[in-house]
Amino acid sequence: MSHTILYFIMFFGPAFALIISIGLMVQAKKDLIDYLFALSFFGMSVWMFQIALFSTDMINNWEYAWYLTFIPVPLIYIIPPIMVLRYRWVLASTFKLTRIHIFLIIPSIIAFGILLYFPFSGHEKMSGYYPGLPIMSENFTRLPLYFKITYITAIIPNLYVSLLMTPVLIQMLPVWRRDSSNRISKPARMGYISALSIVVSNIMCLMGYIYSLDLVIISLLLANAATIYVYLVTQRHPDYHRLLRSETRKANYEKSRISGLDVNVICTRLHELMRDEKVFADEELSLRDLASELGISAHQLSEILNEKIKKNFNTFVNEYRVAEAKAMLVDEPQRSILSVGIAVGFNSNTTFCTVFSKIAGESPSHYRKQKINV
């Protein structure tokens, strides 16, 4: 009975990751990053399913057990870089696939080549060589060289993802050091816990493959808990990824500022606050509030705006508001002029129309009419 419950819990994680992947794919509006997230969770599902088969005796006597657990290996090699790219996107302003990302599939191609060598290995069937782990067991020492290589190939992804995720953890470390009582910092700290759990569970799994499959089971249970944890966090905080990105930048910015970096660092962070976090949408935003976000005094921010950016505070903020309003006027033609103005941070229709006309050279209604009729 206890084994049945344990197996259910072990296989629940892969099934849940698969459901998340399907949920991402059926969304009405999808960007490239949504496909990346879906592929990431699908790969995690396959990977955790394979680990579950490896670490239990459910299929040990089955003729095709070796094939079932080793055929997914080439796909599993693609998952570590995809997981890292997912975090890299969360921490960056944009995400774009480039030609250099093609090299990320080379380990997968190598693993596929090793599996294709089986017909030339001189072995007619695999059932006699399964299971062959852990590596320190007598079962492994009796294996022919080809099967030793395939088993080692199957467990290297655990080391691979740990190495790739370590720089991400280092980049996110300032997030963990921020004030934990800060309401906005909490979901970002949850993101750090999630990334840390990936590394810890994979190192534990690798050690289990070497010394004891009991460790593999524990690592899988940890990975299952982390998957459910991430899902619950994103449900509680729908803007979780934006918060994680914002808090990571803010933490790294504070660290850089303390180290004495120049005004360019402050300007970069200032534009990130406006462009990515859209702080201008707060109609009560003041010079003091924005300076507080940057960790400098209102006088220092005023000087930077005037000397470096060549604009005063009101002009700087209103230009971002008008730019956002232009996009909303065209993208949401059914939305009223007043509603657009309030959404971008103006407190009245009169103020919105006046500022919009001054910056854009025409009224909001005339701008919308021209753009929609083009």
Q: Please, are residues 227 and 17 in contact by the beta-carbon 8 Å criterion?
A: yes
The hierarchical CATH code for the domain 263-372 is 1.10.10.60
Among the CATH numbers 1.20.1070.10, 3.40.190.10, 1.10.10.10, 1.10.3720.10, which is that of 2-243?
A: 1.20.1070.10
Structure tokens at 154: 């199957």
The mean pLDDT of 76-94, rounded to a whole number, is 79
pLDDT digits (tens, 9 = 90+) for 153-199: 999 999 999 999 998 888 777 767 665 555 556 667 777 888 889 89
Q: What is the residue extent of each domain of the chain?
A: 2-243, 263-372
Residue 93 has pLDDT above 80, yes or no: no
pLDDT at 223: 92
Residue 83: the pLDDT is 85
More confident residue, 349 or 123: 349
Q: What is the mean pLDDT of residues 344-364?
A: 92
74 confidence band (pLDDT: 50, 70, 90): very high
Average pLDDT over residues 56-72: 82
* Residue whose pair of structure tokens reads 């004495």 in the numeric block: 260
Instruction: Judge whether residue 330 has pLDDT over 80.
Output: yes
The answer to whether 163 and 202 have CB atoms below 8 angstroms apart is no
Task: Give the pLDDT band of residue 135 (cuts 50, 70, 90).
Answer: very high
Q: Has residue 242 got a pLDDT over 50?
A: yes
What was the pLDDT predicted at 268?
85
Is the pLDDT assigned to residue 374 strictly greater than 80? no
Q: Mean per-residue pLDDT for 101-109?
A: 85
Q: Please provide the average confidence, as pLDDT, over all residues in the chain.
A: 83
Span 357-374, mean pLDDT? 87
Answer whether residue 94 shows pLDDT above 70.
no
Distance of alpha carbon 75 from alpha carbon 46, whole angstroms: 8
Is the pLDDT higher at 121 or at 294?
294
